[in-house]
Chains A and B, each alone.
Chain A
Amino acid sequence: MLTGFDLQTVINALPYLFFTGMSFTLTLTVLSTIGGILFGTMLAIMRLSRYRAMSAMAAGYVNVLRSLPLVLVIFWFYFLVPFLAQWLTGASSPVRVDPFWSSVITFTLFEACYFCEIVRSGIQSLPKGQSLASQALGMTERQTMIYVVLPQAMRNMLPLFLTQTIILFQDTSLVYVLSITDFLGAAAKIAQRDGRLLEMYVFAAAVYFVISLLASHAARRLQKRVAIIR
């Protein structure tokens, strides 16, 4: 069975796997989480806005992206971003965009839809009295959102953000379809170069498993700690 498991290949590949691969995966995860939460919150506020056109626009964006597979969205943006950059900067030909930034843009825009749904349900789960009370105190709508609603909603949503980040972390492996060297990409390259598919893929799976498992336990613990007692 596993008697042929060549540990040495894995050990030799460790620096490449972690310094090139995992650092790409983690930077991508962190940047897109931050971007996704910011843009997602914006989308959620738009969706709940009383202006019809605004909420319809946000809802349309979120619903369309959520019904497409991530792989297709990755391809879309990979090819679209150079043309968009050309249009924005007024260059004469499509701009070459670094694959890293292309993936950051893709994941930010894509995961924002899922973060939007989290924030929206977080805002809606707050008792109506909260925003009514702050408006009775004379706060404007914007102040109500920033000082009363969002801080409480965010606290409730923290564990869900972490869960979504774990999903994002796993999803980043899909940049493999663009032959980008993320953690899985690095493992796959070594696997094909040395003909060691078994070792490299099993090792990659184990690393993803351990990180995700630890993070999801942390999310569970966080959930208990941040729960607001009413």
Chain B
Amino acid sequence: MNYNWNWWIFFEPSLDGTNTYLTTLFWGLGWTIATALCAFAIALVLGSVVGVGRTAPSPWMQRSATTFVEIFRNIPLLVQMFLWYFVLPEILPRDAGMWMKQLPNAQFYTAVICLGCYHAARVAEVVRAGLESLSKGQKMAGQALGLTLPQTYAYVLLPMAYRIVVPAITSEFLSCTKNTSVALAIGLMELTGAARAMQENSFQIFEAFTAATTLYLALNLVIVFAMRAVEGLAVVPGYGNRRNAVKGR
């Protein structure tokens, strides 16, 4: 291969003049982590609501929850990103649209909301699978004790379901972290975007992508180890075994 390797490129100043390429990559990593955390917070809250909605006895709740899941699962993430970023400001009233377009860090907020909704649909399926894996007796026992349905969910069903699906939530969070890279299409300078910019400006293709790859692998390892600890804490003693925990995609 006749390719000019130059690993010192990381310490040369990038096009913005002040930072080295290495610094821009770490800024990218920072944006990746921030986007993933914020988006996943939304996904967990919204996903739980929708997941509960899918198992609720009321038909309209079931139907609207199903619609939500189908919409956000069946449109490619990149297209959703464009819808939030380019189309939403045009649909809204003129003033609101202008305000959205001029927001500082608009790409970041858009990416967070878009990824949040996208993963909420997936988290909803995980939560639903967890709720459905519980035996019917749990719900009946809760209601026999005089709890209302919301109370049964809050104090009996959800605490169990969450602990069962922790491994699936882990893999959801991993895929959320990876999916932040799609936001480079709307101009968010996350890790892949930073590596791409470095490659375009310095022509050191493989150094840039090697660095990004290393950082992603490291991030992945950190998440896996952190979540393994959480999984250990969350195991319900005596309830099945860890192998049987619900696997989701």
Please list the residues of chain A having a beta carbon within 8 angstroms of any beta carbon in chain B: 1-2, 64, 67-72, 75-76, 79-80, 83, 86-87, 93, 170-171, 173-174, 176-177, 184, 188, 191, 197-198, 201-202, 204-205, 208-209, 212-213, 216
Contact = CB atoms under 8 A, between A and B. Distances in A.
A72 B75 CA distance: 21
B90 A198 contact: yes
Given A71-B184, A209-B71, A184 B79 contact: yes
B185 A177 contact: yes
Contacts of A213: 70, 74
A71 B192 contact: yes
Contact of A184 (B78, B181, B206): B78
- The DSSP consensus for interface residues of chain B is helix
7 contacts: A75-B195, A80-B206, A188-B82, A201-B82, A208-B75, A209-B74, A213-B70
Nearest to B179: A69
Interface string B156-188: 000000000000000000100011111011000
Interface centre among A69, A75, A86, A93 (most CB of B within 10 A): A69
B83 A70 contact: no
A72 to B, nearest CB: 5
A72 B216 contact: yes
Nearest to B1: A83
Given A64-B217, A79-B206, 5 more contacts: A69-B192, A69-B216, A76-B213, A170-B76, A204-B79
B83 A202 contact: yes
